[in-house]
């Protein structure tokens, strides 16, 4: 604990000591009132002695509680402050959810988005981002540790995917305009699709990898990659080439395939994930909960962050003492004056 204005306490103590202990000028006797003769007899009675002692104790208590009240008031004026050192924990792991948002992957994406909310809620200082791709890639959430924002976007994505899957317009009206949510999935992801095709898997993975702000930074970098690996165009990069690029930049990719993927696409997908040091999961054989659980086991180390000094006023105790002493002072004074 420290006092923000300690000078107030020093000055106040000197003033209080001066008021209570400096010699006072004696007043002349019988300055006011009427003289009464033969009071010695009254002073010797038991009743008078008892009342006189009670009066003297009351005066002492008044002085005591006056001192306590003044001391507490001075202490409050000095602004007592509690100082704590906060060491926020931060882990050096970045996770990007990279989703193929072509229609054939929507059902899988819905399961992932619904499950990964629990993972985001449990993060502690790690960064999380979301990207979507088809013929081009769009950033939905840049890498951030603002988990409230991430969860809000995941909720919106869940609704958009649910609406797209159900095609139930009565259901859609409950949430608002269907096209607003549909734009969340396709906005920025179909640039040049007429000439380049769609589901450009290799380019999707490579572009998601470059969502990490600094690939040379010493952090664990993970991509959660959902697709059916069904290429419908001519990409600049194949999935294997993108996987080699990920390996070069120490990016681990965990793939999640759709239930209807053909054997050729499955084999190519699994091979690419193995190149990065990751693994391919099937939405049929493995629940998304298990996939997320495996990702959470990946290495992460605690970063030493700069301690934060937090100062907090602690007026409660001196305020309570002041309040109680003032109450008792008023109560005793009434007894004396009665």
Distance, in Å, from the CA atom of 8 to the CA atom of 258, rounded to the nearest integer, reads 72
**pLDDT value for 299:** 60
Residue with tokens 């609406």: 163
To the nearest whole percent, how much of the chain has pLDDT over 70? 79
**pLDDT value for 229:** 87
Question: In this structure, is the dihedral angle defined by the CA atoms of residues 136, 138, 144 and 147, taken in order, positive or negative?
Answer: negative
**pLDDT value for 142:** 92
CA distances, 200 to each of 3, 68, 180, 335 (Å): 64, 78, 24, 91
**pLDDT value for 244:** 95
Q: Quick check: 154 pLDDT over 70?
A: yes
Q: What single-letter DSSP state applies at residue 321? A: H
Q: Where does residue 53 rank: exposed (0-12), middle (13-18), buried (19+ CB within 10 A)?
A: exposed
**pLDDT value for 276:** 92
Q: Quick check: 289 pLDDT over 70?
A: no
Query: In this structure, what token pair is assigned to residue 6?
Result: 């300690």
**pLDDT value for 287:** 58
Q: Quick check: 240 pLDDT over 90?
A: yes
pTM for the model stands at: 0.61
Confidence class for position 247, pLDDT limits 50, 70, 90: very high
Q: Quick check: 63 pLDDT over 90?
A: no
Summarize pLDDT for 104-151 with one digit per residue, the tens.
Answer: 888 888 888 888 887 788 777 788 999 999 888 889 999 998 999 999
Q: Where does residue 153 rank: exposed (0-12), middle (13-18), buried (19+ CB within 10 A)?
A: middle
Q: Dump the DSSP string for 56-110.
A: HHHHHHHHHHHHHHHHHHHHHHT-EEEEEEE---EE-EEEEEEEE-SGGGHHHHH
Distance, in Å, from the CA atom of 208 to the CA atom of 97, rounded to the nearest integer, reads 9
Q: Where does residue 34 rank: exposed (0-12), middle (13-18), buried (19+ CB within 10 A)?
A: exposed
Query: In this structure, what token pair is assigned to residue 72?
Result: 């507490």
- Sequence ranges of the domains in the chain: 2-19+39-85+308-337, 90-303
- Axis-axis angle for helices 316-337, 46-77 (nearest 10): 150
Q: Dump the DSSP string for 148-178.
A: HHHHHHHHHHHHHHHHHHH--HHHHHHHS-H
Summarize pLDDT for 72-106 with one digit per residue, the tens.
Answer: 888 888 888 888 877 666 667 889 999 998 888 88
Average pLDDT, the chain: 80
Distance, in Å, from the CA atom of 98 to the CA atom of 105, rounded to the nearest integer, reads 12
Q: Which CATH architecture has domain 90-303?
A: 3-Layer(aba) Sandwich (3.40)
Q: Please state the rounded mean pLDDT for residues 190-217.
A: 81
Q: Please state the rounded mean pLDDT for residues 51-77.
A: 84
């Amino acid at each position: 604990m420290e006092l923000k204005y300690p000078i107030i306490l020093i000055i106040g103590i000197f003033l209080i000591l001066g008021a209570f202990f400096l010699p006072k000028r004696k007043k002349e006797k019988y300055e006011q009132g009427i003289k009464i003769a033969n009071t010695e007899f009254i002073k010797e009675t038991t009743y008078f002695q008892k009342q006189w002692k009670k009066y003297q104790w009351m005066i002492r208590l008044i002085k005591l509680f006056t001192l306590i009240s003044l001391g507490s008031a001075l202490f409050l004026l000095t602004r007592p402050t509690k100082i704590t050192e906060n060491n926020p924990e931060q882990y050096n792991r970045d996770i990007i959810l990279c989703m193929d948002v072509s229609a054939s992957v929507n059902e899988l994406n819905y399961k992932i988005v619904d499950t990964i909310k629990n993972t985001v809620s449990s993060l502690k200082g790690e960064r999380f981002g979301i990207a979507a791709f088809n013929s081009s890639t769009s950033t939905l959430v840049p890498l951030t540790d603002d988990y409230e924002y991430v969860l809000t976007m995941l909720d919106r994505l869940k609704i958009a995917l649910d609406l797209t899957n159900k095609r139930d317009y009565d259901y859609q009206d409950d949430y608002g305009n269907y096209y607003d949510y549909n734009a969340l999935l396709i906005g920025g992801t179909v640039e040049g699709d007429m000439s380049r095709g769609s589901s450009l898997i290799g380019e999707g993975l490579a572009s998601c990898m470059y969502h990490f702000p600094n690939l040379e930074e010493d952090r664990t970098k993970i991509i959660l990659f959902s697709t059916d690996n069904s290429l419908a165009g001519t990409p600049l990069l194949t999935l294997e080439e993108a996987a080699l690029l990920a390996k070069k930049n120490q990016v681990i990719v965990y793939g999640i395939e759709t239930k209807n993927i053909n054997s050729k696409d499955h084999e190519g997908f699994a091979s690419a994930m193995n190149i990065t040091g990751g693994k391919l999961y099937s939405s049929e054989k493995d629940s998304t909960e298990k996939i997320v659980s495996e990702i959470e086991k990946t290495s992460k180390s605690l970063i030493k962050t700069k301690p934060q000094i937090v100062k907090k006023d602690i007026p409660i105790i001196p305020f309570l003492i002041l309040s109680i002493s003032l109450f008792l002072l008023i109560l005793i004074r009434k007894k004396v004056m009665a």
